[in-house]
């Protein structure tokens, strides 16, 4: 009797191991609402650099090379190069959405460089004067821009990075006040590997090129703060050692979601709990791809019920985490609808 019990436990263990669920990360694109929604009565925007700089920000003509601070051999005003790229990038993003009737960009040298211990708003009369002169309903102001370049060449895989820091404000001419202030700090990296970690033959950008690339990203990222935008996000897909499960994953990875969904739909009718969970979970992901969030939530709710219990705790945890993501996505879509209704 004891021998049979041991044999049964061994068979059960092998069964569990053979049907283990694994996860593959995929990238999808989702439309996200703006964190700050432009007022619906703003139709013309002026983009302006206030050209402010922190007093202690004195490393414009320096860079970090192999952990050593060195001075540039050729003096160059990186701000005068980067700020126009940043503002051009922002202007392009705003114009491409057709949510604003007119976007005008003031010359970057309209206002002289001013150094200050603190970056504060200007006098309200200054904003009124600028909005009258530009006839703009709203002013997008780049109050401060700063960046610093570093590179590492001592190793077989050289790298470079640019640390950026910038402060933005939005002045609503109709309300005659600043209605949003945004501080953005980011780091951009470059190396000689692709997304899968494979070494590829490409050059690491020097300081001038890297700062130009970073400036373009800064403008684009700020546009996402004030307008709805497409963003790349990651999701986990459930797979198993089953040939059909792997096939469905490859189909979805190649954009053939309908064919993959047909396989997952069959799994939802399986007597094997793990396969059924895989089917429900991945079908929820397919529904999210189609913007059908309510259906996706219903499927994860069902998958969570089926996976409750000792032997499926890891799958249940993954399902519940994804369910939270879906509820957040539902709130984002509701916010998006309100932003578009306002315009």
pLDDT of res. 74:
79
Closest alpha carbon to 87 in 111, 58, 120: 111
For residue 12, pLDDT beyond 50:
no
DSSP annotation of 198 reads -
For residue 108, pLDDT beyond 50:
yes
Question: Tokens in use for 131?
Answer: 């909005």
For residue 20, pLDDT beyond 90:
no
Buried/exposed code over 160-195 (b: 16+ C-beta within 10 A; e: otherwise): bbbebbbbbbbbbbeeeebebeeeeeeebebbeeee
Q: 8 pLDDT band (50/70/90 cuts)? A: very low
pLDDT of res. 343:
60
| Mean pLDDT value across residues 6-14 | 42
Q: 201 pLDDT band (50/70/90 cuts)? A: low
pLDDT of res. 3:
52
Helix, strand or coil for residue 142? strand
pLDDT: is 311 or 67 the higher one?
Answer: 67
What distance in Å separates the CA atoms of residue 223 and residue 211, rounded to the nearest whole number? 19
Percent share of the chain, pLDDT over 90 = 72
**Any idea which residue has 């820091």 for tokens?**
165
pLDDT of res. 93:
94
pLDDT tens, residue by residue, 294-336:
999 999 999 999 998 778 889 999 999 999 999 999 999 999 8
Helix, strand or coil for residue 36? coil
Percent share of the chain, pLDDT over 70 = 90
Q: Which domains does the chain possess?
A: 44-230 (3.40.50), 233-342 (1.25.40)
pLDDT of res. 34:
93
Q: 57 pLDDT band (50/70/90 cuts)? A: very high
pLDDT of res. 11:
39
With contact defined as beta carbons under 8 Å apart, do 235 and 105 qualify? no
DSSP annotation of 177 reads E
Task: Return the number of other C-beta atoms located less than 10 Å from residue 46's C-beta.
Answer: 22
**Any idea which residue has 């703060």 for tokens?**
225
pLDDT tens, residue by residue, 73-98:
877 778 888 999 999 999 999 998 87
What counts of helices (H) and strands (E) characterise the chain?
A: 9, 10
Mean pLDDT (the chain) is 89
Angle between helices 273-289 and 243-253 (to 10 degrees): 10
What distance in Å separates the CA atoms of residue 209 and residue 218, rounded to the nearest whole number? 14
pLDDT of res. 184:
94
pLDDT tens, residue by residue, 153-187:
877 678 999 999 999 999 999 999 999 999 999 99
With contact defined as beta carbons under 8 Å apart, do 11 and 226 qualify? no
Task: Return the number of other C-beta atoms located less than 10 Å from residue 201's C-beta.
Answer: 5
Strand pairing report for 22-32 and 229-239: antiparallel
Helix, strand or coil for residue 103? strand
Length of the chain: 343
């Amino acid at each position: 009797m004891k021998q049979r019990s041991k044999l049964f436990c061994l068979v059960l263990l092998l069964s569990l191991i053979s049907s283990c669920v694994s996860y593959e990360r995929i990238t999808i694109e989702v439309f996200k609402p703006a964190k700050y929604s432009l007022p619906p009565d703003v139709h013309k925007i002026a983009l302006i650099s206030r050209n402010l700089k922190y007093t202690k920000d004195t490393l414009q003509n320096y860079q970090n090379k192999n952990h050593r601070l060195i001075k540039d051999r050729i003096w160059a005003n990186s701000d005068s190069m980067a700020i126009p790229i940043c503002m051009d990038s922002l202007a392009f993003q705003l114009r491409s959405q057709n949510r604003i009737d007119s976007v005008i960009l003031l010359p970057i040298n309209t206002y002289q460089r001013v150094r200050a211990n603190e970056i504060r708003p200007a006098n309200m009369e200054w904003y009124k004067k600028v909005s009258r002169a530009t006839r703009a309903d709203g002013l997008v102001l780049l109050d401060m821009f700063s960046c610093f370049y570093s590179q590492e060449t001592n190793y077989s895989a050289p790298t470079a990075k640019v640390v950026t820091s910038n402060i933005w404000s939005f002045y609503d001419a109709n309300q005659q006040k600043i209605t949003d202030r945004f501080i953005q700090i980011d780091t951009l990296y470059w190396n000689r590997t692709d997304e899968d970690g494979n070494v590829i033959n490409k050059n690491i950008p020097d300081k001038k090129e890297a700062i130009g690339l970073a400036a373009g990203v800064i403008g684009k990222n700020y546009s996402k703060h004030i307008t709805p935008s497409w963003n790349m996000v990651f999701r986990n897909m459930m797979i198993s050692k089953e040939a059909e499960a792997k096939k469905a994953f490859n189909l979805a990875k190649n954009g053939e979601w309908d064919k993959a969904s047909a396989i997952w739909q069959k799994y939802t009718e399986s007597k094997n709990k793990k396969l059924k969970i895989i089917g429900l979970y991945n079908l929820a992901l397919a529904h999210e791809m189609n913007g059908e969030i309510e259906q996706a939530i219903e499927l994860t709710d069902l998958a969570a019920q089926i996976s409750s219990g000792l032997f499926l705790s890891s799958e249940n945890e993954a399902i519940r985490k994804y369910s939270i993501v879906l509820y957040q996505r539902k709130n984002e879509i509701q916010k998006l609808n309100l932003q578009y209704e306002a315009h």
